[in-house]
A = this chain, B = another copy of it.
Amino acid sequence: MTPDPERGATLRADAARNRERVLRIAREQLAAGDDSLMFNSIARLAGVGVGTVYRHFPTRQAMLEALLVERFQHMIGEVRAAAAEEDAVTSLHRLLRLTLQRMLKDSGFAAVFESDSDADGRMSAMKGELELALTHLLDRAREAGAVRPGLGADDVRRLICGIGHAVRIGDDQAKYAEIYLAVLLEGLRPPR
């Protein structure tokens, strides 16, 4: 038995192995651009029964979130670190750039990051911590004149999601990402 960091419980060795297999396959599918996450085919590819997949992940959304628990936990650390840095503005910009790139690379991440309704309470909790940390960072950046009043952490989340969307529409994402991000960063500042 090994502790399962994502469930706060202990999983039988084989169960944990299957869970990981399923998650690995799901990750591959998403990476390959197939965001349908069909339980039957995931099960087949993972070499387990469908029932096993359902046992671990009652819904598609739950699977998506499970796929991202580590990433979100990592992000919380990043945002906290960013909020603690000396130069809040640079820090904010770097954070937003990083987040944008993550969204572009991983559509599953983008989907969960955008969504307001989580299947799993732990995901909601993490989002709450994320928002808190971002609020701190934002407050400091605001003091430095880089953020207009009236824009909260959730607004910034939505806006960066919007920018991600704008970049994705186009055909040369690498090219647009930096430009559109620059537009956002300038737009966040108090109007002249």
Contact call B167/A164, Cβ cutoff below 8 A:
no
Count of chain copies: 4
Chain B residues in 8 Å Cβ range of A189: 186, 192
Instruction: Select from chain B the residue with minimum beta-carbon distance to A187.
Output: B187
CB distance from A191 to the nearest CB of B (A): 5
How far apart are the CA atoms of A183 and B180 in the complex, in Å?
12
Instruction: Select from chain B the residue with minimum beta-carbon distance to A169.
Output: B158
Chain B residues in 8 Å Cβ range of A191: 182, 186
CB distance from A146 to the nearest CB of B (A): 11
Chain B residues in 8 Å Cβ range of A180: 155, 158-159, 162
Number of interface residues of A (CB under 8 A): 32
How far apart are the CA atoms of A116 and B164 in the complex, in Å?
16
CB distance from A100 to the nearest CB of B (A): 11
The contact string, 1 if C-beta is below 8 Å from chain B, for chain A 152-192, is 00110011011111110111000010011011111111011
A166: contacting residue among B159, B167, B170, B183, CB under 8 A: B159
Per DSSP, are chain A's interface residues mostly helix, strand or loop, or mixed?
Answer: helix
Say yes or no: is A151 at the interface (Cβ < 8 Å to chain B): yes
Contact call B170/A116, Cβ cutoff below 8 A:
yes
How far apart are the CA atoms of A164 and B159 in the complex, in Å?
10
CB distance from A49 to the nearest CB of B (A): 12
Contact flag A183-B116 (CB < 8 Å), given A162-B166, A163-B162, A166-B161: no
Contact flag A161-B155 (CB < 8 Å), given A182-B191, A183-B184, A184-B187: no
Chain B residues in 8 Å Cβ range of A150: 179
CB distance from A138 to the nearest CB of B (A): 14
Q: List 6 A-B contacts (CB under 8 A).
A: A158-B166, A158-B169, A158-B180, A161-B165, A182-B191, A184-B187
